[in-house]
């Protein structure tokens, strides 16, 4: 019996050694080597099959999920590994391990554009974190939830979760998790036209990101800030901010962080009517697509940019086809944010093709989509296009009423900008000035 115990102890040490070395090679550090980490984890998995230890097996599968989801692997493989780990964990009532698996499985679902399933998985993880009282991990879970709530147009929930994450940060000191949530809640405030709160969120996210070395926070936050600055009319400052973020992203040697900056850079070039640079940057994004696949936000921003380039090139049929494909994707993923943006571009193509009645119907859908989620950012643009179509239809009374509504929305946005320079740049936007003065 003593010999058996010694043998078992030796085997346990062997397993622990494999897992410890795998962790070193799997995580971001100077020794990182995903290939070697995977080899070690597969050896550890084989060991668990020999010992028939379900908890060890679930832990190894979970680590393989993490490696695949965050190490540039195959998301479909990550999902398969995560679902296997989750099944074993549930069958064996591993209550402390299950939420960890759910947490990382959420990222894998997001990476494969299964937003609704990711949302369901995250909610279950958050419920379990609350049940076992792991508040630092609850903060991390909420930071995943907020960008999903943004995409799904559930802004009220996103704000509630952000406020909860802030309170939990005070209790737990988890600044890393809070940095992630702040980077995305700024997008929600941008949609709602609450500019000061968006600016404050981005600034806090950036500062906490630098402090905690949360790379996504200090790259995503300034990229999103640049999009906001462009909306406020300060294109030059926006380009300065996002180009700096892009340089930082390249230094991380990851594929997904440069994508954030690039998709915003394309939008800024389009705003600047710099079609050549917009096309070139879009080609860089497509190049990334060939090796990794564009996921999460980029499957929305890329076709939006492609459609806009087609419109500028007077290729209206291609623009409509691109947008129809995007709208199908948005419906499949339950995404409501940016639906109105897509519909506006489709309506522009319809107007150019002389399909004024079709454009009118499309813009009515766009208005409903913007109003349903409370997006002030997109609503005034929708109403401006709709007023134009009413003019083309000869309904000047309805067009005038819409212009009154546009002024209300723009005034609301203006009233939520405290920075004097940004107030002036917003007022100096030609479209804003025209609507506020009429």
Tokens, residue 267: 């939008």
The secondary structure of 256-285 as a DSSP string is HHHHHHHHHHHHHHHHTT-HHHHHHHHHHH
The model carries a pTM of 0.88
Domains and CATH numbers, the chain: 11-108 (1.25.40)
Name residues whose C-beta falls within 8 Å of residue 52's C-beta, 6 or more positions apart in sequence: none
Whether the per-residue pLDDT at 294 is higher than 60: the answer is no
52 CB burial (10 A radius; 0-12, 13-18, 19+): exposed
pLDDT at 12: 65
Q: pLDDT tens, 207-216?
A: 999 998 888 8
Tokens, residue 387: 């007023």
Reported confidence tier of residue 10, pLDDT bands at 50, 70, 90:
low
pLDDT at 4: 45
355 CB burial (10 A radius; 0-12, 13-18, 19+): middle
pLDDT at 158: 94
pLDDT at 290: 47
Residue for token pair 């643009």: 381
Name residues whose C-beta falls within 8 Å of residue 162's C-beta, 6 or more positions apart in sequence: 142, 146, 181, 182, 185, 188, 201
pLDDT at 2: 37
**CA-to-CA distance for 55 and 90, rounded, in angstroms?**
10
Q: pLDDT tens, 229-278?
A: 999 999 999 999 999 999 999 988 777 788 889 999 999 999 999 999 99
Is residue 334 within 8 Å of residue 115, measured between CB atoms? yes
pLDDT at 38: 87
Whether the per-residue pLDDT at 386 is higher than 90: the answer is yes
**Cα of 261 vs its chain's centroid, Å:** 12
Tokens, residue 329: 């994707």
Whether the per-residue pLDDT at 357 is higher than 50: the answer is yes
Tokens, residue 179: 């940095």
**CA-to-CA distance for 118 and 124, rounded, in angstroms?**
10
pLDDT at 1: 40
pLDDT at 291: 46
Q: Tell me the percentage of the chain whose pLDDT exceeds 90.
A: 68
Q: pLDDT tens, 22-59?
A: 777 776 555 667 788 889 888 989 989 999 999 999 99
pLDDT at 241: 96
The arithmetic mean of pLDDT across residues 328-349, rounded, is 96
Is residue 182 within 8 Å of residue 211, measured between CB atoms? no
pLDDT at 438: 67
**CA-to-CA distance for 221 and 204, rounded, in angstroms?**
9
Q: Please provide the average confidence, as pLDDT, over all residues in the chain.
A: 90
Is residue 326 within 8 Å of residue 307, measured between CB atoms? yes
Q: Residues 308-322, buried b or exposed e (16+ Cβ, 10 A)?
A: bbbbeeeebebbbbb
Find, among 296, 309, 310, 366, the residue nearest to 338 by Cα: 366
The arithmetic mean of pLDDT across residues 318-324, rounded, is 97
pLDDT at 3: 41
4 or 47: whose pLDDT is higher? 47
Number of alpha carbons in the 13 Å side-chain half-sphere of residue 12: 7
Find, among 56, 58, 100, 115, the residue nearest to 81 by Cα: 58
Q: pLDDT tens, 389-434?
A: 999 999 999 999 999 999 999 999 999 999 999 999 999 999 999 8
pLDDT at 174: 80
290 or 132: whose pLDDT is higher? 132
183 or 317: whose pLDDT is higher? 317
Whether the per-residue pLDDT at 385 is higher than 60: the answer is yes
**CA-to-CA distance for 302 and 286, rounded, in angstroms?**
9
Q: List the Cα angle 313/316/318 in 5-degree steps.
A: 95
Reported confidence tier of residue 7, pLDDT bands at 50, 70, 90:
very low
pLDDT at 31: 66
The arithmetic mean of pLDDT across residues 121-132, rounded, is 95
Whether the per-residue pLDDT at 5 is higher than 60: the answer is no
Residue for token pair 């709709």: 386
CA dihedral 242, 416, 143, 325 (to 10 degrees): -70
Number of alpha carbons in the 13 Å side-chain half-sphere of residue 434: 7
pLDDT at 140: 85
pLDDT at 223: 95
pLDDT at 169: 82
């Amino acid at each position: 019996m003593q010999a058996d115990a010694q043998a078992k102890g030796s085997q346990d040490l062997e397993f622990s050694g494999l897992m410890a070395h795998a962790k070193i090679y799997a995580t971001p550090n100077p020794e990182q080597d995903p290939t070697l980490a995977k080899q070690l984890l597969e050896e550890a998995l084989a060991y668990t099959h020999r010992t028939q230890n379900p908890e060890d097996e679930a832990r190894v599968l979970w680590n393989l999920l993490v490696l695949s989801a965050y190490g540039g692997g195959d998301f479909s493989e990550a999902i398969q590994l995560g679902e296997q780990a989750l099944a074993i964990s549930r069958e064996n009532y591993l209550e402390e391990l299950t939420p960890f698996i759910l947490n990382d499985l959420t990222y894998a679902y997001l990476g494969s554009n299964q937003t609704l399933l990711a949302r369901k998985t995250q909610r279950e993880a958050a419920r379990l974190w609350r049940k076992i009282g792991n508040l630092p991990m609850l903060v991390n879970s909420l930071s995943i939830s907020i960008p999903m709530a943004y995409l799904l147009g559930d802004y009220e929930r996103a704000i509630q979760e952000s406020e909860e994450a802030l309170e939990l940060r005070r209790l737990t000191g988890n600044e890393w998790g809070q940095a992630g949530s702040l980077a995305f809640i700024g997008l929600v405030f941008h949609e709602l036209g609450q500019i000061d709160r968006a600016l404050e969120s981005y600034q806090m996210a950036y500062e906490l990101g630098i402090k905690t070395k949360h790379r996504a926070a200090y790259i995503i936050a300034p990229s999103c800030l640049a999009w906001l600055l462009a909306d406020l009319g300060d294109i030059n400052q926006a380009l300065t901010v996002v180009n700096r973020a892009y340089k930082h992203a390249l230094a991380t040697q990851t594929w997904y962080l440069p994508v954030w900056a690039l998709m915003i850079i394309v939008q800024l070039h389009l705003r600047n009517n710099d079609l050549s640079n917009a096309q070139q940057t879009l080609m860089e994004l497509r190049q990334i697509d060939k090796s990794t696949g564009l996921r999460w936000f980029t499957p929305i921003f890329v076709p939006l940019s492609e459609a806009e380039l087609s419109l500028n090139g007077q290729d209206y049929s291609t623009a409509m086809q691109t947008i129809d494909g995007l709208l199908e994707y948005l419906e499949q993923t339950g995404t409501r944010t940016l639906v109105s943006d897509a519909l506006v571009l489709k309506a522009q193509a319809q107007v150019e093709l002389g399909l004024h009645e079709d454009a009118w119907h499309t813009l009515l859908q766009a208005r409903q989509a913007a109003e349903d989620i409370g997006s002030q950012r997109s609503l005034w643009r929708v109403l401006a296009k709709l007023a134009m179509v009413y003019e083309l239809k000869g309904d000047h009374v309805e067009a005038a009423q819409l212009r009154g509504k546009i002024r209300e929305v723009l005034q609301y946005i203006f009233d939520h900008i405290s920075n004097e320079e940004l107030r002036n740049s917003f007022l100096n936007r030609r479209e804003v000035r025209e609507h506020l003065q009429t």
